[in-house]
Amino acid sequence: MVAEAEARGLRIVFLGPPNSGKGTQAALLAEALGVPAISTGEMLRAAVAAGSALGARVKDVMARGELVSDELMAEVVRQRLSQDDVAGGCILDGYPRTVAQARTLEEILGPRGIDHVILVEAPEEVLIARALGRGREDDREEVVRERLRVYRDKTAPLEAYYEDRGLLRRIDGARSIDEVQAAIESVLGVRRVG
């Protein structure tokens, strides 16, 4: 468990290319800090499950196979971050994905904003090998390379945006899960107790 005083109220965004391990690390850190790890997919599914007007709009968009717009995603994020379980902090995985979404997140969170942005990085060949090692049908090399290209195109400006604000923490995601977890805790100044 992490020292409670250190964990209280942290708001952390996780960034990283596909197969970097960011989702795994976000979940591990959330568990250690005792805060919710909130993924974009989780937010969308929760909005639909709630049966609200917002959820119905999300469901319609997803049923058509379309991407959820920035405006609709902002509503989903705003609703999720207003829930009681995030009062003590949270970890966002998959949002924001663009500078425009980062600005929207700042508006939603207010003056304090976020505390840290963890960027889990690994060389492209490592990311491709991980994807191909899973053996999924849609994980062909050309598909994986295209996903990485899209990620670079959309997210590189976001990395610079957060780096300019002194929030970006780069982590070598090519190491073992335990080594990456230790590196993240180290850059956050979090120490394990007990």
Which homologous superfamily is 10-36+90-187 in? P-loop containing nucleotide triphosphate hydrolases (3.40.50.300)
Residue 102 CB coordination number (10 Å): 21
Comparing C-alpha atoms, which of 25, 32, 35 is closest to residue 190?
32
Taking the chain, what is the end-to-end CA distance rounded to the nearest angstrom?
A: 6
Question: What average pLDDT does this structure show over 20-37?
Answer: 94
CB 151 within 8 A of CB 94: no
Rounded to the nearest 10 degrees, the angle between the axes of helix 141-164 and helix 124-134 is: 130
pLDDT for residue 193: 58
Q: Parse the chain into domains and list their residue ranges.
A: 10-36+90-187
pLDDT for residue 156: 83
Comparing C-alpha atoms, which of 134, 58, 74, 145 is closest to residue 106?
74
* Enzyme catalytic residues: 22, 97, 134, 136, 147
Compute the CA torsion angle 30, 183, 188, 82 (nearest 10 deg). -20
Tens digit of pLDDT for each residue in 96-118? Answer: 989 999 999 999 999 989 999 99
CB 167 within 8 A of CB 188: no
Report the percent of the chain where pLDDT is more than 70. 94
Tens digit of pLDDT for each residue in 50-92? Answer: 998 989 998 988 888 777 889 999 999 999 999 999 999 999 9
Question: Distance (Å, rounded) from C-alpha 170 to C-alpha 55?
Answer: 35
The residues near 98 (Cβ < 8 Å, ≥ 6 apart) are 70, 154, 155, 157, 158
Residue 173 above 50 pLDDT? yes
Phi/psi of residue 18, each to 5°? -55, 135
pTM as predicted: 0.87
Sign, CA dihedral 122-128-132-134, equals positive
CB 147 within 8 A of CB 130: no
